[in-house]
Amino acid sequence: MHVRIAAEAAGVSVRTAWRWLARAREGEMGPVRRGGFTFDDALWARLEDLGGNVAELRRELERAGDQAPLEVRLPSLATLYRVVRQEQQAGRVLGVTRPRQARVEPAVYDRALAELALPGMVDEAGAAPAVPAVPAAERLGGPGESGSGARPLLFTDGVRLHVPGAHVVSTRQVGAVTEALAHTVAARGVLCLYGEPGQGKTVALYQALRLLPHRVPVHRALVGVKLALPQLRAALLTAFGLPVKALTSRADAADRALLEALTEPGVLVIDDVQRVAAPELDYLRLLADAPATRTSLVLCGAGAERTLARAPALASRVLTWQHTPRLDAAQVPTVLRLFHPLWHSATDGDLLHADETCGRGNFRTWAKITSHVYAAMDRRPDATVDHALLTWACSRLGPDL
């Protein structure tokens, strides 16, 4: 116990204190540790300017040589990292409020983003949409490359199709979401994307986000069920890559950090917004309503319009309300044949009957039906996609369908 108290008073580890005692028993008296390195306010401020890059700070100090503002010899890089961790554990906040990744200049929003296509997809006519070329000057470096930062790869996946060989189809519903998102991002507004479960809201949103120029950063906040304000604040800090542990216990500092991050043009996505209660929605309104905010807010979820009705102050600030409806009956045969090749042998009448009795234009339901039909065809290669097989596949989805 005494050794631990002495170690804490000396600012060293318990192991170091025991080593000093061992040396003292062997007769090695005198100072065994010179003045340790500490961060003064000027060096800490410079580290914040460098975005928390400890290695770059050491390179600067090394280049400065004798002119470096140090009272002791330049420490090693490992020592600098250790001291930074100790300072943060002691409660010192590294005010890196501007994420180094995916920065973008406001001028990128000067041109309209409405003429966007969905790469790697097919439309309802079976043609691949044209992909606008991205100038070389606008491309960001890939992983490991230096530069202004790379776009977070949050939305390249996330489409659960349940069956091999399936494709995302660019329906007119997906195109409507793309156009709504493009307009909202260009205007730096708030978008509410709503619709019943399984209608393809998240799929359409992910595909539309992939379409944005790569220099436009996209941040996704993962929210839990009935989360309180501290949990919402932590989710937003995580989305922007800010130090959660250092800021969650300091509400004022966390709010300042979020407001600073929101001054950078970009997109903040909150899916399943129906999980957020009215007081926390009002907190989002305060962030989005700040004069310096340039980040667009996308609120997506089943029944999101009913959720925002409980927060009229935020609802009044929504620029675009985009509903994702179910597939029309006339769309079902064409879209399904583009979705997976196994539907090529099915008749329109069988598909329309299955949609009327089970699918009901819900794309998630049809993805599950496709999975069951695919498994049946794999077990019995001689089977045909007919009324009986469709009826059996629909029966696998539950008694209420």
User: What are the pLDDT digits (tens) for 152-209?
Assistant: 333 334 556 667 788 778 788 888 888 899 899 988 899 999 999 988 888 889 888 8
Task: Give pLDDT tens digits for 194-235.
Answer: 999 988 888 889 888 888 877 788 999 988 887 888 889 999
What confidence score (pLDDT) does residue 105 get? 43
Cβ atoms 340, 366 nearer than 8 A: no
Amino acid at 377: M
Helices (H) and strands (E) in the chain, counts: 17, 7
Q: Tell me: pLDDT of 85 over 70.
A: yes
Residue 86 in any domain: the answer is yes
Task: Give pLDDT tens digits for 122-131.
Answer: 555 656 544 4
Residue 131 in any domain: the answer is no
Task: Give pLDDT tens digits for 356-372.
Answer: 999 888 988 998 999 89
Give the pLDDT band of residue 148 (cuts 50, 70, 90): very low
Which region among 153-157, 276-280, 391-395 has the lowest average model confidence (pLDDT)? 153-157
Cβ atoms 327, 363 nearer than 8 A: yes
Task: Specify the residue for token string 């019995």.
Answer: 380
Cβ atoms 329, 300 nearer than 8 A: no
Longest CA–CA span in the chain (Å) reads: 97
Query: 67: domain range?
Result: 40-96
Are 9 and 71 found together in one domain?
Answer: no
Residue 32 in any domain: the answer is no
* Distances, alpha carbon 78 to alpha carbons 11, 34, 54, 379, 399, in Å: 17, 17, 10, 59, 62
What confidence score (pLDDT) does residue 59 get? 84
Give the pLDDT band of residue 145 (cuts 50, 70, 90): very low
Are 315 and 346 found together in one domain?
Answer: no
Are 160 and 183 found together in one domain?
Answer: yes
Task: Record the pTM.
Answer: 0.61
What confidence score (pLDDT) does residue 68 get? 67
Residue 17 in any domain: the answer is yes
What confidence score (pLDDT) does residue 80 get? 83
Domain boundary among the residues 301, 323, 345 is at: 323
What confidence score (pLDDT) does residue 49 get? 76
Are 3 and 67 found together in one domain?
Answer: no
Which region among 71-75, 185-189, 355-359, 372-376 has the lowest average model confidence (pLDDT)? 71-75
Which residues, at least 6 apart from 275, have a Cβ–Cβ distance to it below 8 Å?
A: 223, 224, 225, 226, 227, 301
Report DSSP state, residue 356: I
What confidence score (pLDDT) does residue 128 get? 52
Are 246 and 177 found together in one domain?
Answer: yes
| Greater pLDDT, 244 or 12 | 244
What is the number of domains present in the chain? 4
Are 336 and 388 found together in one domain?
Answer: yes
d(CA 212, CA 227): 30
- CATH number for the domain including 205? 3.40.50.300
Give the pLDDT band of residue 339 (cuts 50, 70, 90): confident
Which residues, at least 6 apart from 65, have a Cβ–Cβ distance to it below 8 Å?
A: none
Residue 145 in any domain: the answer is no
Residue 35 in any domain: the answer is no
Are 294 and 173 found together in one domain?
Answer: yes
Q: Mean pLDDT, to the nearest integer, of 87-116?
A: 49
What confidence score (pLDDT) does residue 261 get? 92
Task: Specify the residue for token string 């961790």.
Answer: 85
How many CB atoms lie under 10 A from the CB of residue 154?
15
Task: Name the residue among 115, 2, 3, 93 with its Cα closest to residue 39.
Answer: 93
Are 87 and 111 found together in one domain?
Answer: no
Are 317 and 376 found together in one domain?
Answer: no
* Distances, alpha carbon 18 to alpha carbons 10, 15, 30, 66, 128, in Å: 12, 5, 15, 35, 70
Are 235 and 343 found together in one domain?
Answer: no
Residue 144 in any domain: the answer is no
Are 289 and 165 found together in one domain?
Answer: yes
Q: Mean pLDDT, to the nearest integer, of 5-27?
A: 71
Amino acid at 322: Q
Are 303 and 228 found together in one domain?
Answer: yes
Q: Tell me: pLDDT of 13 over 60.
A: yes
Q: Tell me: pLDDT of 42 over 60.
A: yes
Cβ atoms 194, 298 nearer than 8 A: no
Residue 401 in any domain: the answer is no
Sign of CA dihedral 316, 317, 320, 324: negative
- Angle at which helices 172-187 and 201-211 cross, to 10°: 50
